[in-house]
Amino acid sequence: MNYDYNKLYGETRDALGEPTTIFVNFFDHLEQQDVRVLDVGCGQGRDAIFIARKGHRVVGVDISENGIRDLKEVAARENLSIEGVVADIASYEPDGSFDIILIDRTLHMLARQTRLTALKKMLNHVGKQGWILIADEVSNIEDFKGVVSEHPADWKTELSQRGNLFLRHV
């Protein structure tokens, strides 16, 4: 990672702004309640916090200690169901299965093979009928589709446009 997000988060609250609109729309229309969500590269929790406010259980993982600290502070203050984990997503192994794994503009920060290996690992933790929601560089989406096509589970592409790839484990 070339940019020092830990420094940014240490100096600026809500450094990355509001939750990502495409994810807000997804969760606004999600009919399931109380789902388990993994937010990979969660930073200070801009997506994780709004998801937890909707009543879902969230695990947020990020390499930034300051980001996870801020996430946990908001979760404690608002009594939200959020677990914050400081870990490098390149080596992180999720605990159990998730209904939704969200990766918001994080994978592009990793070297190509590392990002593809991390995605492959994440796919193994999406439960049946679960989702993986990715926002990333447009140039990486075809590589991500390649990883999914090689995965032993069946996946249905629900959205693939402008750097967004939403897949359902069918």
pLDDT in tens, 34-78: 999 999 999 999 999 999 999 999 999 999 999 999 999 999 999
How high is the pLDDT of residue 53? 98
Q: Please report, as a single letter, which amino acid is at residue 102.
A: L
Residue 71, both tokens? 């996430």
Q: How far apart are CA 62 and CA 55, in angstroms?
A: 21
What kind of architecture, by CATH, is found in domain 23-169? Answer: 3-Layer(aba) Sandwich (3.40)
* For residue 113, pLDDT beyond 80: yes
* For residue 2, pLDDT beyond 80: no
Give me the mean pLDDT over the 25-31 stretch: 97
Is residue 50 within 8 Å of residue 27, measured between CB atoms? yes
| pLDDT averaged over every residue in the chain | 96
Give me the mean pLDDT over the 108-127 stretch: 97
Tell me how crowded residue 19 is: count the other CB atoms within 10 A of its CB: 18
How high is the pLDDT of residue 86? 98
Tell whether pTM > 0.85: yes
Ranges of each domain in the chain: 23-169
How high is the pLDDT of residue 3? 82
Q: How far apart are CA 140 and CA 125, in angstroms?
A: 21
What are the CA-CA distances from residue 39 to residues 9, 11, 152 (Å)? Answer: 17, 22, 23
How high is the pLDDT of residue 157? 97
Query: Helices 46-53 and 65-78: crossing angle, nearest 10°?
Result: 20
| Half-sphere exposure at residue 134, Cβ-oriented, CA atoms within 13 angstroms | 31
Q: Which residue has the higher pLDDT, 2 or 135?
A: 135
Helix, strand or coil, per DSSP, at residue 168: strand
How high is the pLDDT of residue 40? 98
